[in-house]
Structure 1
């Protein structure tokens, strides 16, 4: 930690407590203290200070950073009904409590409550920031089941891009393949809010099941709902290499790329 300290939200993110945005919300809600005093937005943490979140010590007075020693990156199968936010406002079970990992971790991006499948969880704030700010489009693959038979016209329009009037945007061209009478697979390189559901709805189809099968090089595979596994060394290094080749646009420009909230 620099002698002049680092911003509190960055400290909490790098400690694996939460994302920077969630840290700002915790600070504004009065849930974060430095040396026993309620912290303020933009405040900096000086070496040796004690930081607590909801009464839990994040750093002891002697500057011990043992909580950061173990770097964690998990592949998790989020079941339907679990939310990816850690906000106290949502009464539904959240993914952090579900995994109950011994080291504080949080999800990279989101899957909405009604969706299931692969989500990555980590305590590496720098990795989250890299993925969230990536200027490159990283693939995410889904299996989707809808309420009626899929037509060639539906596949063609989904591939080409669908105008979403509520967002005033046309989705980027993507890969779509039929996977059954009422099912298809889709590979996206963007992540607008509830994008797949909105695209289907605009074409007169209703999503009955949505499962994320892959994020970049990491696949859901046979992982059971509610279960998790650590990424293999090969998966981790492949992901790092892909991210190292990415450009870094501003978070405001790129935040939807990973936080898809479908």
Structure 2
């Protein structure tokens, strides 16, 4: 049985004009960024004419990449993966340990939210770019939970600093939930995903991360998946994901806020 997310995606695709890079992403060809590179390189055509960056297409138009016809994926795929340490979240073919090559999944999928090379745990893989954006945009405040071991005892002062927010990367991290789990272990729940955020937060407070495992994304849990294993999401998980993403934006937070400000100005008498 198809999930409501899948049905909504298919119905929207039938009636809406889409940016070409988004169409290629949702069709399972590549990421939006890589799609832009393909378009700029002249490898994409629409109705037999060379495509242009930023263009939109409507249902019924013929899109080809390197002369190969592109069709939207009929079946939405969402996998829960236990990424091992040493595997890299990238589609770069020159990286021998990239996650795509490691999984060797028969259908083109990509990751929703990176884990760095030295981190492990729950990673979602899908062929639906819209879901990826809605799940991972910081402005949607969706939770990601991690279990972290550091190089020295976790103190109450450390926990309080982590929970309040830590200055890193020219900003201060959002307040978050932090709980001590053992002498050198703590659990942390984030609603943003800055580059190497937890490692940088710990380093700023004089700690070094020894192990870092993501155990939950929103309502989806790692459970007993062993490193390297994956499973499709259950219908119950997909239905819950659908509810949680219903009012989420797939726009970057800055763009969303700019749009909201413009709409508010238009509504003022």
CA contact (8 A) 2:46 2:62 kept: yes
Trace 1:78-97 onto structure 2 (pairs within 5 A). 78-88=83-93, 91-97=95-101
| 2:75 equivalent among 62, 65, 70 | 70
Deviations 1:199-242 (A, max 9, x none): 00001111111110000000001111111100011111111101
Change (3 A) 1:119 1:58: farther
Count of aligned pairs between the two proteins: 243
Change (3 A) 1:95 1:50: same
CA contact (8 A) 2:40 2:52 kept: yes
Deviations 1:31-69 (A, max 9, x none): 5456788654234557453512xx58352xxxxx3x511
TM-score by length of 1: 0.81
TM-score by length of 2: 0.80
For 1:258, the equivalent position in structure 2 comes to none
Residue segments in structure 1 that go unaligned for 5+ positions in a row = 60-64, 256-262
In 2, the alpha carbon distance for the partners of 1:31 and 1:210 equals 40
Q: Tell me whether 1:20 sits opposite 2:25 in the alignment.
A: no
CA contact (8 A) 1:74 1:228 kept: yes
Deviations 1:74-108 (A, max 9, x none): 111111111112134x5242112222222211111
For 2:233, the equivalent position in structure 1 comes to 231
| 1:180 equivalent among 167, 171, 182 | 182
Structure with greater helix percent:
2
In 1, the alpha carbon distance for the partners of 2:255 and 2:196 equals 16
CA contact (8 A) 1:134 1:254 kept: no
Change (3 A) 1:217 1:5: closer
Segment drifting more, 33-42 vs 196-205: 33-42
In 2, the alpha carbon distance for the partners of 1:6 and 1:107 equals 21
Indicate the SS of the match to 1:135: helix
In 1, the alpha carbon distance for the partners of 2:217 and 2:67 equals 32
Q: Tell me whether 1:7 sits opposite 2:19 in the alignment.
A: yes
Trace 1:139-178 onto structure 2 (pairs within 5 A). 139-164=143-168, 167-178=169-180
Q: Tell me whether 1:117 sits opposite 2:121 in the alignment.
A: yes
CA contact (8 A) 2:46 2:61 kept: no
In 1, the alpha carbon distance for the partners of 2:28 and 2:52 equals 20
